[in-house]
Amino acid sequence: MERNNLYPIFLKAKSLNVLIVGGGYVAEEKLTFLLKSSPDAHVTMVSPMFREGTVDLAKKGCVTLVKDVYRKRYLKGKHMVVATTDIPEVNVKVHGHCRKRSILVNVADNPPYCDFYMGGIVTKGNVKVAISTNGKSPTTAKRLRQFFEDVIPENVDDLVKNLNEYRKTIKGDFEQKVETLNEFTKGLIEKRES
C-alpha cells in the first residue's frame, strides 16, 4: 500500500519571506489560504497583472505586489516560493532557480516540482489541524477539512488553555507530567463520547 511520507511542520510565516510568482486565479487562491491561516505572513507577489481581488486582499495583509515578469533577482531573501503562472516554462524555471538556492518551492498543480504542498487547514483558536493527501486529491483534503471543522468543538481553545494551566501545577519530571496529562485527557474524551 502506498504511504504518505511527507513530514508536516507548522511554519511561523511572520518570520519568513514568501514569494508568489503569478497574479491569476491560482495565485489569488494561494494568497487567500496563506493569509487565512497566517494573517501576519510576509508575502511578495510578482506578475505583469493582478486580479482585483488580489489587490484588495494585499491591502489586508503584509503583501507587496510587484508588476513585472518573473526574474531570479526576486528570489533574494526568500525562504519559500509558490509558482502559479499559466506558462509551464516559467514555473519550471522558478523551480530550477529555487533548487539551486535551497529555497523551498511549490509549483501549483505539478507535484514533481513541489518540495511541499499547501494542504487543507482547520483552525479553532490555538488548535490547528493540517490535512494532506500527498498531493493526490485536493477535493478529499477539502472534504476532510469540512469534517474536522464540524467535529472539533468551538470551545476546544478553553480546553487547551485550561490544560496548559493544569500542566504548570503538575509535579515531577517530563515523563510523569505526560502520564498525568494522558490520564486526565483520557477522562475528558470519554466524557465527550458518552
Give the C-alpha separation, 107 to 169, whole Å. Answer: 47
In 3D, which of 92, 97, 90 has the Cα closest to residue 75? 97
Give the C-alpha separation, 120 to 131, whole Å. Answer: 5
- 12, pLDDT greater than 70: yes
Give the C-alpha separation, 19 to 152, whole Å. Answer: 32
Count CB atoms within 10 A of the CB of residue 170. 13
CB half-sphere exposure, 80, CA atoms < 13 A: 20
Q: Which residue in this structure is represented by grid cell 482547520?
A: 122
- pTM equals 0.84
Cell of 92: 519550471
Give the C-alpha separation, 11 to 106, whole Å. Answer: 15
> Mean pLDDT throughout 119-132?
89
Give the C-alpha separation, 23 to 49, whole Å. Answer: 6
- 194, pLDDT greater than 50: no
48 Cβ contact partners less than 8 Å away, ≥ 6 residues apart: 23, 67, 68, 69
Query: pLDDT of 44-88, one tens digit each?
Result: 999 999 999 999 999 999 999 999 999 999 999 999 999 999 999
Query: pLDDT of 17-50, one tens digit each?
Result: 999 999 999 999 999 999 999 999 999 999 999 9
SS3 at position 170: coil
Give Cα 22 distance to the centre of its chain: 18
In 3D, which of 170, 128, 154 has the Cα closest to residue 185? 170
Give Cα 185 distance to the centre of its chain: 28
Give the C-alpha separation, 194 to 190, whole Å. Answer: 6
